[in-house]
Every structure is written in C-alpha cells, then in structure tokens.
Amino acid sequence: MDEKIRLIMREPTEEVLTPELLKEYIEQGVPLKHYIGFEISGFVHLGTGIVTMRKVADLQRAGVKTTLFLADYHSWINKKLGGDLDTIKRVALGYFKEALLQSLKAVGGDPESVEVILASEFFEKLGIKYFENFLRVSNRLTLARVKRSITIMGRKEGESVNFGQLVYVPMQVADIFSLGVNLAHGGMDQRKAHVIAIEVGPKEFGYKPVALHHHLLLGLHIDEETREKLLKAKREGDREAFEEGIVEIKMSKSVPQSAIFVHDSPEEIKRKLKRAYCPIGEVEMNPVLEIVKYVVFPWLEDLGRSFEVVNKKTGERKEYKSYQEVERDFAAKALHPLDLKLAVAEYLVEMLKPVREYFVEGPGKKYLEEMKEIQITR
C-alpha cells in the first residue's frame, strides 16, 4: 500500500484531492480506475508527452487501470485545429495518439496496457446515458460557477465565450462519471473541473473521485516581467492570480517557441534551449531548471545514471547525483546557464531519440507529415 501511494504521490504530482480518500480506496481494495483527457490540437511537447506520461507510467506501476481520453468534441468546441471536427478526429487517432503512446514508452510505461478512448465514439456507445449524466452535472452548477471554470479550456476568466463553449465544463465533469473513473488526472489547470466532480459526485453518482494534478512545465519564452509578476502573486498568497499566470506561460503547442516537441530534431532542441529564458543564479520560475527537474532527472534515475555538465570554458566535467545539487550550484552561480542548457539539450536528444525515430523514419512518419501539412494549411 505504501509503495502504491508513493508512486501516485511522487513528482510530477503536485496535489492530490484528497490523500485521505486515496488511502481509503487503496486500504479497502477499491480498484483504481484512472483517466486523463487531452484536447487535440498541435504537436505534442515535453509537458504533455513526457511529464504527463511519466505520471501515467507511475500509475501503471501502482497497479492502476489507466486511460487516455482523446477529447475530440471538446477540442471542436474550443475551436482547435480550425474547428474542423473531421480533422480533429483524424489527428486524434493518428499523430496525437501515437505521440502519447511513444512518449509513454520512452519514460518506461507500457503502451499496450493503457486504454485509448476517442470521446465521440464513447458518447455514441453510451447514448442517452451520457446526456443524462451531463444534465445531472449541469443541474448542480450555476452559470457564474461555469464562467469561473472556463480556465480549464486555456481561456481567461471573464473572457467572452459562446454558449457552446460554456457546456465544455459540465461535459468534462460528466466524462469522469460516464467512464466510471475514481482517479481523475490532469495538470494543475484542470483543478476547477475536478473540484466540481468531487462536489457533485456523492450527490448525483454515489461516490467521490480522487483528483490528481501534475506539474505544468513553464514555457521557454517566459520573460523577467512575467516572472516577477508571478513571484509576487506567490509571495502574497494570491493562488488564483498565480495559477492563472502559470496557465498563460506554460509550455504550449500553440506557442511553438515556448515548447520542445517530442519529435524535434537534435538541432531544433539545441536551438530552442539556447534561446530559453534562464537567468543566472535564479532558480524560481526557471524553465530550463524545470526541464532538469521534471524531465531529465527522473529519466536518468530510472537508468541509474547521474546528471553531468561540462564547463565550456575549462572542459571540466561535474557529476550531480540529485536535482537539489544542480539547483544549489546554479543558485551559487557555480553553474553557468549556457553549460546547463548544453547538458540538457544532449540529454533530451538522447531521451527523445526513440520517439523521434518513430516519427521521422518509422511507422509514425505518415502521421507527422500529415500533421505538418495541417499546420501549414491552417
């Protein structure tokens, strides 16, 4: 039991609502049924592909039944890929699905044991029951609550949205209960929907799900002004402003310069990292250090390897056994940003090699080419 809880709770997990309920389910032998939903839009980056799939791999090791929910209707509502439903469905079952499964494999997970569900096919199979579940959730929500929760769509609170987009929130909550999920998983940006599910569940569906939220990787494009604004919100305990700010500057497929994609070439990875924001001596809100912490170090630890950095000027090689050692040296200005970036680039090139080869030379080539064509014509 302790090992299951450790795997579920360890980074990149940032929050579990609630640890007590999770422990209760495990103690009582309740089978944990997980899901995480994905909007179908652009290319898959480190946050979606590696950080998210590492958590899925942890859950698999903990004996949890894992599910990837490809939310094509939700993506359509949110006007992804030009709002073309046919394109969204094609990408969902092509590039997007393959990128997630190859990423899961790269972090030690088992693509064969994860269930992949296309939302539209699931809704068709469930029929009127899904609509009933949607109404059960909707009847428990006020319009004001729904408007406050549209941030789960990557939209700002108070932003003008159409009526179709308002149904996104109760739909996402209805997904959880329609799938019979008792472990709802998402980034910290999905918290508002999961809190609604926790509140609505006992009243309408007879149980309360556990919600697991993982860390959102910062985009490489963050600037000093944005960083200071977020740190101020954090210091003042303004959780709402801090969380909304993080959503705005997280690694995003819609902002290509902010992201490293799982199929990027070695040259692209190195170029993006060289341009990444990485102020000397600053460890908070540093996107390069975040990649070290949440992407590179967990992968190296799985392989029993340490993190090495070469000083570009002297040629000296330094070995780090833990992320804390890296952070300590960086804060003391004993580790230069350029040396750190070069080391991170080399590890990412190595780590992503199987995914890149699958899409550049292997069976995934047709999906990547199709996706690039869609991106060009949009």
Contact between residue 355 and residue 103 where contact means Cβ atoms under 8 Å apart: yes
β-bridge pairing 307-310 and 317-320: antiparallel
Cα gap 229→213, rounded to integer Å: 23
Cα gap 52→214, rounded to integer Å: 7
Is 168 flagged in the annotation as binding?
A: yes
Is 190 flagged in the annotation as binding?
A: yes
Is 175 flagged in the annotation as binding?
A: yes
Is 28 flagged in the annotation as binding?
A: no
Cα gap 181→176, rounded to integer Å: 5
Contact between residue 337 and residue 249 where contact means Cβ atoms under 8 Å apart: no
| Tokens 């909707």 sit on residue | 138
Cα gap 175→188, rounded to integer Å: 18
Contact between residue 51 and residue 348 where contact means Cβ atoms under 8 Å apart: no
Cα gap 189→174, rounded to integer Å: 18
Q: How many C-beta atoms lie closer than 10 Å to residue 304's C-beta?
A: 6
Longest dimension (CA), the chain: 68
Helices then strands (H, E): number in the chain?
Answer: 22, 8
| Tokens 């004993």 sit on residue | 334
Contact between residue 309 and residue 340 where contact means Cβ atoms under 8 Å apart: yes
Is 23 flagged in the annotation as binding?
A: no
Q: How far from each other are the two terminal CA atoms of the chain, in whole angstroms?
A: 49
Is 172 flagged in the annotation as binding?
A: yes
Which residue ranges make up the annotated binding site for ATP? 253
Annotated binding site for L-tyrosine: 35, 168, 172, 175, 190
Residue numbering of the annotated binding site:
35, 168, 172, 175, 190, 253
